[in-house]
Structure 1
Amino acid sequence: MAIIKLSATERRRLSAFFTCLVLAVGAWVFTVLSNSYNYTVKEVLNFRNTPQKRAFHSLQSDTVNATVSGNGWQMLFSKVNRDVNVVSVDLRSLEYKSYVVLSSQLEQINTKKEIGQQITAFNPDTLYFDFSNRKVKRIPIQLNTDIRYKQQFAQANNIMLNPAYVIVNGPASVIDSIKSWPSDTLKLDSVGEPVSTRLNLQAVKEGNLSVFPKNVQVSIPVDEFTEKVLEIPVKLINNHNYDDVKIFPQKVKVTFTISLSRYAQTDEDFFEATADLDLWRKKGYKVLPVIISKQPAYSKIVKIEPQNIDFIVKK
């Protein structure tokens, strides 16, 4: 392959040529991007001054295409900028009509936009709404949790929510179908002590609904658990004919877990063990399984000894 050899003068001329070319291209790009252009960006609608006496439902998407007047640099950056563009729309006029014209609010919308990035038009320009009767309802909060406890620790009592209810305001047709309002998921790991935290409720997805409050105080009692053993008398149930029935043994040994704070006060009165005589009469059982029908809240049965009892029915 032939190698072109250039003299020092030719190399200087070639270098000067490319330098001028780069400067010329740069000047051209700068000039082009400094010109004014109309370009389209997506804007998310944020409703304010919503009607107090009319429940509404938007009949179109919550985003619109906005035509923006700006220079080439702003147009370029709008293509790579991932920030959410928000347009605040005043719905005060819905008190007496069923649509809002965005172009009629351009002046107040543009007061919140940067100079040189003024919106000139919207597509669609008119937003239409459907209306129904407004209803207010008090509904319970549904707490979502994903909690992992340290070994031998667990929830020791009922979770307390403050408040336990939210007030939902919106169309009657929608409100009637809502039975509870979910919270965000409370995620905790290696929990070994009581939890007290504030948790956000899930955001409203419909523009015609409102929920108050937006968050809730969550208190979770947590304690260390240990095993305890008690002898519990067995109660015979479904002895419809009042037969003379003897059971053996009359007590069973129940091993269960209980929180340390309730260990001393927990005795056999907190439990009820039963054996169902219908299992013999209707199904022919030779022994009766023992069922723990009552136990302390948040305790856990580990084992029952024996699990089945013998019985004799005297004629």
Structure 2
Amino acid sequence: MFRNFIQNLDQKKLKVFFVFLIFSFVSWSISKLSQTYDSWIEVTLIPTKFPDSLLLKNESTQRVNLRLKASGFKLLGMQIGEKSEKVNLSSISKNNAGYYLTNGKLKNQWERRFSNAEILSLQPDSVFFDLYQVQAKKVKVKPKLGLDLVQNYVLLGSLRVEPDSIMIKGPASEIENINVIETVEFTLREVSENFSQKLLIAKPENFSSSEILKSAVLVSGNVVKFSEKVFELPIEVKNTPKGYDLRVFPKTVSLLCKAGEDDLRKLTESDFKVVAVYDSIVTNQNALRLTIEQKPKNTIALRLLENEVKFVLEPK
């Protein structure tokens, strides 16, 4: 009988009826969700910013119940899925039961994060964290970066690491013998220009209960195209004995200089000084050792083509 009644209804009127029914339901829902309510939600805590002397046990997880006053829309969004919030442990307190934060401190941290919502209360009154005492120290970072340089290109100076040292903390037995920490290995290919590369820190072996406070460093360097040039330089004699003349032959020496192309064009013989120092104790009877006493900072490599020079020592 009911089926016959439905079939006898005007289908067009029926469709209009359902449209108005759905519209009414949506309007009623919006009206209700726009009103203010208070409700409890469970929040998982994500600890951050530990004091230098403390670490959290990996298996430790804390949750609090948070009572919020907000619109129905806001509360509905918070109750969908698992809710988690970061908590700053830098001001953590300690008593006989362990390390804890009061719900007052948690409320102060979170008030700005919950926009358009008021925190009414938290449970429990204090949240305890399973922390343990550790040591902290700063160690140098050693970059393990390989460079595959294009032919006739060279690294100018040394690699720069930012930061060049990082903090580690953990039990003394794990960190006391660690003074340098390495990055993961990485190679840059076909390098022909200045570079900057982010490298992750490699976790040392047997580092199970310790923590590295920075996960990566930035390694950079300057790369230039180099060229070579031979300079013919005069030899300056030093420490000639009194009452003698000391003559060297030849009077000049060839110096092979490697530098960036732009820097090499600016260099002259006056930028270098090669000396032969006479020493009656260590000097060979026939030759004096040559050394480069003055050189520009912007050279890559220098090599004397002759390391010794003959000499004659004659009375005046």
TM range, normalised to the smaller chain? 0.5 to 0.7
Partner of 1:249: 250
In the alignment, which residue of structure 2 is the partner of 1:155? 155
Contact 1:198 1:217 (8 Å CA) reproduced: yes
Give the letter aligned to residue 234 of structure 1.
Answer: I
- The corresponding residue for 1:167 is 167
**1:221 Cα deviation (Å)?**
0.6
CA shift at 1:298, angstroms? 5.4
Equivalent residue, structure 1, for 2:267: 266
| Structure 1 match to 2:194 | 194
Aligned to 1:143: 143
Per the alignment, in what secondary structure is the counterpart of residue 219 of structure 1? strand
TM-score, normalised via structure 1 length:
0.52
- The one-character-per-residue Cα deviations of 1:26-45 (angstroms, maximum 9, x if unpaired) are xxxxxxxxxxxxxxxxxxxx
Aligned mates of 1:55, 1:236 — CA distance in 2: 64
Q: Distance between the aligned counterparts of 2:283 and 2:275, measured in 1?
A: 17
Letter of the aligned partner of 1:263 in structure 2? Answer: L
Residue-by-residue CA offset, 1:204-247 (whole Å, 9 max, x unaligned) = 54123222221111111111101122233434456687964222
The 1-side partners of 2:287 and 2:139 are apart by 48
What SS does the corresponding residue of 2:282 show, helix, strand or coil? helix
Q: In 2 relative to 1, CA 175–303 (structure 1 residues): closer, same or farther, beyond 3 Å?
A: same
Confirm or deny: 8 A CA contact 2:263 2:298 kept in the other structure.
Answer: no
Q: Return the alpha-carbon distance in structure 2 between the equivalents of residues 242 and 172 of structure 1.
A: 67
Amino acid at match of 1:90: S
> How far apart are the structure 2 equivalents of 1:55 and 1:158?
36
Does the CA contact (< 8 Å) of 1:157 and 1:298 recur in 2?
A: no
Q: What percent identity do the matched residue pairs reach?
A: 18
The code of the aligned residue for 2:150 comes to: K
Match of 2:179 in 1: 179
Instruction: Provide the residue aligned with 2:286 in structure 1.
Output: 286
Q: Deviation per CA, 1:151-176, whole angstroms, max 9, x where unpaired?
A: 11111233222212111222345444
Contact 1:142 1:182 in 2 (8 A): yes
The SS at the match of 1:193 is: coil
Query: Contact (CA 8 Å) 1:204, 1:210: kept in 2 or not?
Result: no
Alignment of 1:9-24 (within 5 A): none
Q: What is the total number of aligned residue pairs between the two structures?
A: 204
Query: Residues 141-196 of structure 1, C-alpha deviation per residue, up to 9 Å, x if partnerless?
Result: 11223222111111123322221211122234544422221112231232212221
Q: Is the contact between residue 152 and residue 225 of structure 1 (CA under 8 Å) also seen in structure 2?
A: yes
SS at match of 1:263: helix
The 5-angstrom pairing of residues 70-89 of structure 1 reads 89=59
Aligned to 2:6: none
Q: TM-score, normalised by structure 2?
A: 0.52
SS for the counterpart of 1:282 is coil
List aligned pairs for 1:127-138, cutoff 5 A: 134-138=134-138
Root-mean-square deviation (CA, aligned residues, Å) is 3.8
Q: 1:94-120, CA deviations, whole angstroms, 9 ceiling, x for partnerless residues?
A: x989xxxxxxxxxxxxxxxxxxxxxxx
Structure 1: 5+ residue stretches without partners: 1-47, 59-87, 98-130
**Which consecutive unaligned segments of at least 5 residues does structure 2 have?**
1-46, 63-93, 98-131
Instruction: Summarize deviations over 1:235-288 as a string: whole Å, max 9, x none.
Output: 44566879642223343221221112322333345534233433x643634122
The verdict on how the C-alpha distance between 1:51 and 1:256 changes in structure 2, with shifts beyond 3 A counting, is closer
For residue 264 of structure 1, give the secondary structure of its aligned residue in structure 2: helix
